[in-house]
Structures are given as structure tokens and as C-alpha cells.
């Protein structure tokens, strides 16, 4: 799946390649947490320790959408699985090993939190959300089981276009299941996400209809001015039907290769995200359970589940 040219691009972008088709990369907030400079909104909202969170993907170059706001190199991704399949155990082992390598440089940094750095070598959480579409990996259910067997939690973030995999995951529950709602209607979805899959919008609706089968579930909105930051009533109608435990509304961030497709003016202010969340919530009656101005994200909660995830959940 991964040519030498693609590998070179990804490694230049500080990804560590694991096996034939997976990757790990330390996020900004992991690095900040190691320097005592704050933690990410997943920590603020759900209690996930940023320095013990491993951000990875089991499929580095396959996604069936080409979203204009994606900071990745969507132009060279395949839209289906191609090639051999690595085992879940080898992926988990490889991710932990490569994550340690990514963190090794912090050992020479005088102001690093030594206790956190030591803990970071033993992650407690896998964020299966780094790049591409994880549901394309054929052994995703087994990967989740492998991570759970090692006493770690999992967040899985999907674009929702593979409801057949979500059906399988119901029996192999991730700690928290995310489905992205990228638009309020099919017309805006096609314009914004440029799908390389047939009936993508209908498949997202099917995935949303399955969401209630997951013990903890979230619908995520990535909001882009002049594209999908509109039609609050249409979003609310879809969200009301899906009835997720939580809704995360987050601003598009003008970073990475998205800067070649969008302008900085397309990035909403936090105040605009907050106002749009309130506008949607006028139809839903959720509560605003959290927000992070720095990350430009607002969390709506149905009140059905506790925010904080207990160790071992």
C-alpha cells in the first residue's frame, strides 16, 4: 500500500511508519503536556491524559473522501484496501515502539516533566484517528480487542461511509465511537468532501442510525466558514434522529495541506463555533458541557453518560 515516495513524504511530516500500512505521530498536545504547557480538550472533556495518548492509524493511505479541510495529503490516498494486512498485535507493538522513538528527544530537554515522560512510554489510550479512514482496515474489530486486552482505552473516529464495519464494531466496542457529520445536506457534503464512494451521504446516515448501539458515542462536526458552517436546523434534524451521547463542534484549523485548498478566513473563531452550537442546540435541548477556546471546540452533552471515562472503561 505504501510506496517509497509516499513513505518519504510521510516521514518528512514526522509520521513513524509501522509495518506495511500503519503509522503513529505525536500530537501537539502530547508535546505540550510533556512540557507542562497544557492538555488537549480530550483530557479536559473526557479525562484522557494527553501524554499517555497514542495517536495512530491502521491505514495510512486509504480514505474514500477528499475533504477540503483535511490537513493530510488526500490527493495520493486510495479509496479502498490494497495489499497485505498486518496483524493487530504487530500494529500495537509497532505503534508503542515507534511512539517511544518519537518521544526520545524529550529526554534531553531540561524543562520536561520527567514523571510524565516516563509514563508516556506506557500509553493508556489509543486514538485511532490520525489519518485516512480506519474502517477500511479489515481487522479493525480485532485491533480494538487487542488494545482492550492490554488494558488501554480506544477512541475510533470514522467518516461514517462504511456502516458495514460499524455493524461489526458493535460486538467489539471501542471505548468511544465517533462518527463525523460533515455537512447539513447531501449537496454541501459533495461540494465539501468530494467523495470517492458511491452513495456516501446515504451511508453516513446509515452509520448515524447505528450509533445508539455503541456504549459511548459522539457525532463530530468540523466547521468551515463558507462551506458547512450553515443550516443549523438541518444539522439539528439529523442529530435529533441520531441522538448521540455527545456532539463535538470544532472549527476547521488552517494547518497542513488544507492551506492549499482553503484560506485562513475559512477558519471560524471560537465565538462563531459557540454561537453555532447554541443555534443547533435550540432544536435539541442538550447542555454545553465543555469548551476549549484554544482548540475552538464546544461539547454538547445529552446527559445520558458521564463525561469522564474511568480507568479500565
Collapsing DSSP to helix, strand or coil, 230 comes out as coil
Give the number of other Cβ atoms within 10 Å of residue 66's Cβ: 16
Indicate the pTM of the whole model.
0.95
Give mean pLDDT, residues 190-219.
Answer: 97
Cβ 219 vs Cβ 247: under 8 Å: yes
Q: What does pLDDT average to over the chain?
A: 94
Pairing outcome for strands 16-18 and 22-24: antiparallel
Q: Residue 22: is its pLDDT beyond 70?
A: yes
Give mean pLDDT, residues 130-151.
Answer: 96
**% of the chain residues with pLDDT over 70:** 98
Q: Residue 188: is its pLDDT beyond 90?
A: yes
Q: How far apart are CA 28 and CA 178, in angstroms?
A: 21
Q: How far apart are CA 46 and CA 229, in angstroms?
A: 25
Which pLDDT does position 312 carry in this prediction?
43
Q: How far is C-alpha 107 from the chain's CA centre?
A: 28
Which pLDDT does position 200 carry in this prediction?
97
List of domains in the chain: 4-301 (3.20.20.70)
Q: How far apart are CA 190 and CA 181, in angstroms?
A: 13
Q: How far is C-alpha 81 from the chain's CA centre?
A: 20
Q: How far apart are CA 256 and CA 264, in angstroms?
A: 12
Which pLDDT does position 221 carry in this prediction?
98
Tens of pLDDT, residue by residue over 12-21, are 888 999 999 9
Which pLDDT does position 299 carry in this prediction?
98
Q: Residue 113: is its pLDDT beyond 80?
A: yes
**Taking Cα atoms as reference points, which of 38, 28, 41, 69 lies closest to residue 248?**
41
Which pLDDT does position 281 carry in this prediction?
98
Give mean pLDDT, residues 176-201.
Answer: 97
Q: Residue 313: is its pLDDT beyond 80?
A: no
Q: Which residue would you say has higher pLDDT here, 2 or 207?
A: 207
**Taking Cα atoms as reference points, which of 270, 276, 274, 208 lies closest to residue 244?**
208
Give the number of other Cβ atoms within 10 Å of residue 73's Cβ: 16
Amino acid at each position: 500500500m505504501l510506496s517509497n515516495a509516499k513513505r518519504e513524504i510521510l516521514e518528512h511530516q514526522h509520521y513513524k511508519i509501522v509495518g506495511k500500512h500503519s503509522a503513529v505521530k505525536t500530537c501537539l498536545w502530547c508535546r505540550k503536556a510533556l512540557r507542562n504547557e497544557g492538555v488537549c480538550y480530550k483530557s479536559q472533556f473526557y479525562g484522557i491524559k494527553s501524554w499517555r495518548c497514542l495517536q495512530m492509524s491502521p491505514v495510512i493511505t486509504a480514505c474514500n473522501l477528499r475533504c477540503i479541510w483535511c490537513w493530510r495529503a488526500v490527493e495520493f490516498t486510495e479509496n479502498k484496501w490494497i495489499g497485505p494486512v498486518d496483524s493487530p498485535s504487530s500494529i500495537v507493538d509497532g505503534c508503542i515502539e515507534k511512539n517511544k522513538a518519537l518521544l526520545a528527544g524529550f529526554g534531553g530537554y531540561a524543562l520536561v516533566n520527567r514523571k510524565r515522560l516516563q509514563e508516556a512510554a506506557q500509553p493508556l489510550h489509543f486514538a485511532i484517528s490520525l489519518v485516512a479512514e480506519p474502517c477500511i482496515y479489515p481487522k479493525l474489530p480485532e485491533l480494538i480487542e487487542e488494545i482492550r486486552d492490554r488494558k488501554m482505552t480506544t477512541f475510533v473516529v470514522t467518516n461514517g461511509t462504511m456502516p458495514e464495519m460499524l455493524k461489526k464494531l458493535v460486538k467489539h466496542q471501542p471505548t468511544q465511537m465517533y462518527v463525523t457529520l460533515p455537512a447539513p445536506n447531501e449537496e454541501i457534503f459533495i461540494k465539501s468532501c468530494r467523495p470517492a464512494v458511491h452513495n456516501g451521504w446515504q451511508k453516513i446516515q446509515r452509520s448515524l442510525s447505528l450509533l445508539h448501539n455503541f456504549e459511548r458515542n459522539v457525532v463530530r462536526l468540523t466547521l468551515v466558514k463558507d462551506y458547512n458552517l450553515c443550516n443549523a436546523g438541518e444539522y439539528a434534524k439529523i442529530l435529533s434522529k441520531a441522538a448521540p451521547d455527545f456532539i463535538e463542534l470544532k472549527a476547521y484549523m488552517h494547518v497542513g495541506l488544507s492551506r492549499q485548498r482553503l484560506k485562513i478566513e475559512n477558519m471560524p473563531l471560537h465565538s462563531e463555533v459557540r454561537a453555532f452550537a447554541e443555534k443547533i442546540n435550540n432544536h435539541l435541548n442538550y447542555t454545553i458541557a465543555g469548551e476549549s477556546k484554544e482548540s475552538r471546540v464546544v461539547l454538547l452533552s445529552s446527559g445520558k453518560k458521564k463525561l469522564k471515562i474511568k480507568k479500565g472503561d
